[in-house]
Amino acid sequence: MSDRVVSVSRVIKASPEAIFDVLTDPAKHAEFDGSGTVQQIRGDSERLQLGSKFGMDMKMGPMPYRISSTVKEFEENRLIAWAHFGKHRWRYELEPVDGGAATEVTESFDWSTSPAKFAIELAGYPKRHPANMEATLERLAELVEA
C-alpha cells in the first residue's frame, strides 16, 4: 500500500451485508459522515455499484459546495471506494469477524491517485482526516448496531 494513505479501523457489531447496504446508499452518507461536510444527496439515491456517479451537497465551514463522485472500486459486501474531480479516494473495506456477526471496517483516505498530492499534504488533510474517520465509523456503528 502507498505511503499516501491514512486509515482507521473499527469492529462493528453488524454483518458486512448490513454495513455495505448503508455504504452503497448515498442518501445515508450524511448520516454517517463524521466530518460534518456531507449535507445531503443531490439527485436520485440509487444503490451504488462500480461506475456509479452520485452528487452531494457539501459544506466546509460556512462555504456550501457541490461534489460529484464516481465509484472506482467495488466488491460486493467487501469493498467500495469513490473519487471526485480531485481523484483521491475514500475507501471502505469490510472483513467479517466472529463468524460474520461483526465486521472490521477500515476507512481510508488515499491521495496516491491524485495529481494534487502536494496540495493535499500542504493543506494538512492526511493529518486531519483520521479523527473524522473515527467519528464516521462511530456514526456508522450507531446506524447499523441499533
State the CATH number of the domain containing residue 28.
3.30.530.20
How many domains are contained in the chain?
1
Q: In the predicted model, what is the mean pLDDT of residues 19-48?
A: 92
pLDDT in tens, 84-143: 999 999 999 999 998 889 999 999 999 999 999 999 999 889 899 999 999 999 999 999
Which residue segment(s) compose the domain that 134 sits in?
Answer: 5-145
Q: Of 93, 51, 44, whose CA–CA distance to 69 is shortest?
A: 51
- pTM recorded for the entire structure: 0.94
Q: Is the pLDDT of residue 36 over 80?
A: yes
C-alpha to C-alpha distances, 5 to 1, 8, 48, 89, 111, nearest whole angstrom = 8, 10, 23, 9, 6
Q: What distance in Å separates the CA atoms of residue 99 and residue 120, rounded to the nearest whole number?
A: 39
